Amino acid sequence: MTAVLELRNATKSFPGVKALDSVSMHIEPNEIVGLIGENGAGKSTLLKVLTGIYQLDEGQVLVNGREQKLRSPRDAFDHGVAMVFQEQSVISTLSVAENIFLGREGEFLVAGLINKAAMNRAARTELAKVRLDIDPATRCAHLSFAQRQMVEIAKALSLDTRIDGDIVILLDEPTSVLEKREVELLFDIVRELKARAAIVFISHRLDEVIDVADRIYVMRDGAVVQEVPASTADVHDLHEHMVGRQLHHEYYRENRQRSELGEVALSVKNLSSKGHFSDISFELQEGEILGIAGVVGSGREDLARCLAGLAPPDSGEVKAAGKVANLTSPRRAVDAGFGFIPSERKVEGLVAPLSVTENMTLPAPHEFTRRGLIRFAHETEVAKRWIDRLRIRTPSPRTPTQSLSGGNQQKVVLSKWRIAGSRIAILDHPTRGVDVGAKEDVYEMVRDMAEDGIAVVLLGDTLEEVIGLSNRILVFKDGRISATFDAAVGSKPDQVDLIANMV
């Protein structure tokens, strides 16, 4: 039997990183293939190759046994490879039918005009395949999240009568935002769809993957490290392959982890934000690093944004250094001593065209002005001090930040908050998109902060990172703290323990 979709020695590099390293995999007709891996393991790059967004440097993509160069998502679609995106991609102002056939209205044209009745009829046929009983003329803005996802799947399925050969549907984390009942419905439909299509199911909920898939690929560091039939797969075993290497104590500077901590710097009581998290309480001491673990949608990102003043809480109390902190705006959060290092560094952490100095002094303008005018010499002097201290590689303090490497940019963000006098640092994925060498610099900086008595809340990019750096770890699940682990050097919790409380 010919594989519907096959990758042979697929390799794709980006500056400084090999995102796919000679990956080979095949998807057979009427098969559900699970694909798992940590963030940065290469899953997204793989999907982008399969949907024509990226082109391979080396290796081949074969569709129905023939080599194809997929040039765009549309090209991939026309070859029978359809992706259901994690961040949904239906167009809310168009109707269900219009979305299903967007860009392919040609078959309904009569004398240049669209035959709406015929299009709606055809849409009904596709909707029936996903058991969605709605009027195809309904605008997508009126649909629930789960319904929209079904519309996307219906769009993918509309291919099966329109192309030769089998179709492949790539489902990228389809369950991450669904309710339990909706997940079960989705699984029922996915199993039904097996009769019509091959399916690639990407998720980091290992139990789900084992439940729904026939065969599982595990990816790590851009390569496939394991391939097992789901019937013999086991959560612990998969997870070990997913994470791979053992903890490196040195890598995370565990020798610098403080055991003596200072005063209570942050105290959070019954903090709730409707639909995001509820009843969160914890304390954080000066010099302590508190890791927060949880899957996407567990509420930990929302908590970080709340503490940064970006999304005010509905109820509960936050005290910083003993005083009640008003978190209704980023400015107020900064005044209360919070510094936020966001995951979207380029969007939220830096004003990229401004110089290193200007970025560093952005939150604390008063200190650098006299009678409303900027004190350039003083500003530059402070910036130079931090450039030396954090070993920021920049040609000069007045170089635009956008010309620095990712790691150095991150150092600028960190020094910005040090200059502003933040006592509580919220680190939201501080090493995302940073290359390996610079990661260690970031870890070094986190330890420096703790040494200077700054309290750190850390949302790590990987569990390994959270465990390695933290003094204590909170595990989030469905918007609540499901477990708390002490992570003193020598008695760090195991990743499996954390995962057990995450899913």
Partner 1 sequence: MPARLDLKALAPVAVLVLLCLVIWAFSPNFVSINNLIRILNQAAIPMVLVMGATFVILMGSIDLSVEGILSLCAVVTAALVMNPVSADLASLSAPVAAMVDANIGFLAIPVAILAGGLLGFVNGVVHVRLKVPSFMATLGIGFACLGIATAALGGFPVRISDRAFRQITLGRELFNVPNGVWLALAAVFVAYVVQEWTRVGRWIYAVGTDEVTARQSGVPVERTRIIVFTLAGLFSGLAGVMAAAQLGQGHALLGQGRLFTTITAVVVGGTALTGGVGSVLNSVVGVLIVVVLTNGMVLMGVETYVQQGVQGLLIIIAVALALDRSQLDVVK
Q: Are strands 277-285 and 323-324 parallel, antiparallel or unpaired?
A: unpaired
Amino acid at 441: D
CA distance linking residue 77 with residue 83, whole number of Å:
8
Given a contact cutoff of 8 angstroms between Cβ atoms, the answer to whether 428 and 340 are in contact is yes
Given a contact cutoff of 8 angstroms between Cβ atoms, the answer to whether 3 and 26 are in contact is yes
Q: In the structure encoding, which two tokens stand for residue 337, read together?
A: 């001593």
Q: Binding pattern to partner 1, positions 421-460, x when CB under 8 A?
A: ----------------------------------------
- Residue the block writes with tokens 């809310």: 92
CA distance linking residue 355 with residue 373, whole number of Å:
18
The alpha helices in 316-455, defined as continuous H runs, are: 330-335, 356-360, 376-389, 406-419, 436-451
Nearest to 88, CA basis, from 145, 159, 167: 145
Contacts to partner 1 from residues 60-99, by CB under 8 A? 72-74, 77-78, 89-95, 98
Query: Which stretch in 108-116, 248-256, 429-437, 445-453 sits in contact with partner 1 by CB under 8 A?
Result: 108-116
How far apart are CB 140 and partner 1 at their closest, in Å? 10
How far apart are CB 138 and partner 1 at their closest, in Å? 9
Among 102, 117, 163, 436, binds partner 1 (CB under 8 A): 102
Decide: is 105 part of the binding site for partner 1 (CB under 8 A): yes
Q: Which is nearer to partner 1, 93 or 231 (CB)?
A: 93
Nearest to 469, CA basis, from 441, 482, 496, 488: 488
Decide: is 315 part of the binding site for partner 1 (CB under 8 A): no
CA distance linking residue 178 with residue 196, whole number of Å:
24
Q: In the structure encoding, which two tokens stand for residue 470, read together?
A: 């933290």
How far apart are CB 84 and partner 1 at their closest, in Å? 12
Among 15, 106, 395, 490, binds partner 1 (CB under 8 A): 106
Q: Binding pattern to partner 1, positions 122-161, x when CB under 8 A?
A: ---------------x-x----------------------
CA distance linking residue 10 with residue 16, whole number of Å:
18
Amino acid at 104: R
Q: Which is nearer to partner 1, 78 or 227 (CB)?
A: 78
Among 9, 69, 109, 486, binds partner 1 (CB under 8 A): 109
Q: Which is nearer to partner 1, 235 or 354 (CB)?
A: 354
Query: Which stretch in 111-119, 143-151, 239-247, 408-416 sits in contact with partner 1 by CB under 8 A?
Result: 111-119
Q: Which is nearer to partner 1, 88 or 369 (CB)?
A: 88
Helices 116-129 and 145-157: crossing angle in degrees, nearest 10, is 100
How far apart are CB 160 and partner 1 at their closest, in Å? 17
Q: Would you tell me which residues interact with partner 1 (CB under 8 A)? A: 72-74, 77-78, 89-95, 98, 102-106, 109, 112-114, 116, 137, 139
